[in-house]
Structure 1
Amino acid sequence: MNHSHLSPEAEFRYFLTWFREFSEYEKSDFMNILIQWLLKTNEAHLNGIESNCSKPTIFHCRMKLFREWSSKWNDQLRSKFIEKLNELDPDFVLKMNEMLEAKLEQPEENENVEVAVKDDIEKIENGLTEMSVNEE
């Protein structure tokens, strides 16, 4: 399916549908990505991602789409997204808010850790690109 023609509202609905399917483990990974999205940074740590990840999962593909799609969402849609997540899973949003507050209170993290996480994300995204090229 070609997702390039979807409206932001359609992207929003797709992702809410996917969120309903996430395991607790995936929700934990998504929470890290969501916090970075709210902070408007690119760093994120995903549980269970190895530095030599050559076969990304559907979840990883969805996270890549979330990053692409949500970067274009306006503030109103961003707020609505958090509201809908809260309706679907209030405990998730409560924990996310607690983690977000803690993150905002922390001084800048160790640069070496930041670089390692960015390297892991780049490897995943490169794997996704390779996977899509091989599928064509």
Structure 2
Amino acid sequence: QLMQSSSHAFQLSLTSDGMSEPLPLSYVTAQEMRCLLHWLSGWAPVQREQFLRDLVEKAVPWKVLPLLEGLAGLSMEPGKPPSIFECQMRLWDQWFRSWSEAERNEFLRQLEEEAPDLASRFYRDLAATAGQA
């Protein structure tokens, strides 16, 4: 499976039998991915939708608003601390930016295992951007 953007390529390495092979990860990266997948399992549907949109935006960065504009759109009221979800989304963004392409691909592989419904929607939504300018 291969998805390309101008500066990033998401691809999964396949073994000879066609199965994805887990990537050896650093302890920190593995913990970040485990933490994110745990959060994902507890998020409300609207939060999962926001995460999915953000993931698609990260995969197709030249076709959507920059991420910082997306983060600015989170409901932040003056004098009110950010919600736990808003903090989680900011951490997700920091982690994703620090991951290599191979680590990003490994996250997608884990997402396919842990949340196949969300992963399939991600691939469908990503494919839908192919015809857009």
Residue segments in structure 1 that go unaligned for 5+ positions in a row = 1-5, 108-136
Tell me whether 1:74 sits opposite 2:100 in the alignment.
yes
Q: Distance in 2 between matches of 1:72 and 1:45?
A: 19
Counting matched residue pairs gives 100
Tell me which residue corresponds to 2:36. Answer: 15
Tell me which residue corresponds to 2:129. Answer: 103
Identical columns (%): 26
1:53 to 64, 68, 77: 77
What letter matches 2:41 in structure 1?
R
Tell me whether 1:39 sits opposite 2:60 in the alignment.
yes
Cα-to-partner distance string for 1:2-42 (whole Å, 9 max, x where unaligned): xxxx8222212211111111111110000011111222463
Tell me which residue corresponds to 1:64. Answer: 90
What TM-score results when the alignment is normalised by the length of structure 1? 0.63
Q: Distance in 2 between matches of 1:8 and 1:80?
A: 10
**Contact 1:8–1:72 (Cα < 8 Å) also in 2:** no
Q: Distance in 2 between matches of 1:49 and 1:10?
A: 25
What TM-score results when the alignment is normalised by the length of structure 2? 0.64
Q: What value does the CA root-mean-square deviation take over the aligned residues?
A: 2.3
**Contact 2:32–2:95 (Cα < 8 Å) also in 1:** yes
More strand by share: 2
Tell me which residue corresponds to 2:3. Answer: none
Q: Which runs of 4+ in 1 moved over 6 A?
A: none
Q: Distance in 1 between matches of 2:89 and 2:129?
A: 21
1:27 to 31, 37, 48: 48
